[in-house]
C-alpha cells in the first residue's frame, strides 16, 4: 500500500468510529432526557405526598410527639 491508501483507510476507520461515538452520544442524551422527565415526575409525586401527609396530620390534630413510644 502506498501512503495515499493508508490515509484513506485511516480516514475510513475514523469515520466509522465517529459514527459509533455519535450514536452513543445520541443514546446517552435520550436516556438523560428520559431520566430527567422521570425525576421531575417523582419530585412532583413526593411534593404531593408530603402535602397529603401534612393535611392528614392537621386533620387528626394529633402531635406525634405527644404519643408514647411504640413499646408502651
What confidence score (pLDDT) does residue 60 get?
80
Tell me the three cell numbers of residue 45.
409525586
Return the minimum-mean-pLDDT range out of 17-21, 31-35, 60-64: 60-64
Q: Is 1 helix (H, G, I), strand (E, B) or coil?
A: coil
Supply the mean pLDDT for the chain.
Answer: 90
Checking if the pLDDT of 1 tops 70, the result is no
Domain boundaries, the chain: 1-59
Interval 43-68: pLDDT, tens? 999 999 999 999 988 888 766 666 77
Chain CA centroid to CA 54, Å: 28
Average pLDDT of span 19-26: 98
Long-range contacts of 14-17 (CB under 8 A, 24+ apart): none
Amino acid at each position: 500500500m502506498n501512503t495515499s491508501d493508508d490515509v484513506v483507510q485511516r480516514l475510513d476507520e475514523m469515520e466509522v468510529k465517529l459514527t459509533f461515538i455519535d450514536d452513543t452520544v445520541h443514546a446517552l442524551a435520550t436516556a438523560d432526557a428520559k431520566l430527567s422527565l422521570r425525576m421531575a415526575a417523582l419530585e412532583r409525586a413526593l411534593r404531593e405526598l408530603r402535602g397529603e401527609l401534612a393535611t392528614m396530620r392537621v386533620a387528626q390534630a394529633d402531635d406525634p410527639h405527644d404519643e408514647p413510644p411504640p413499646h408502651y
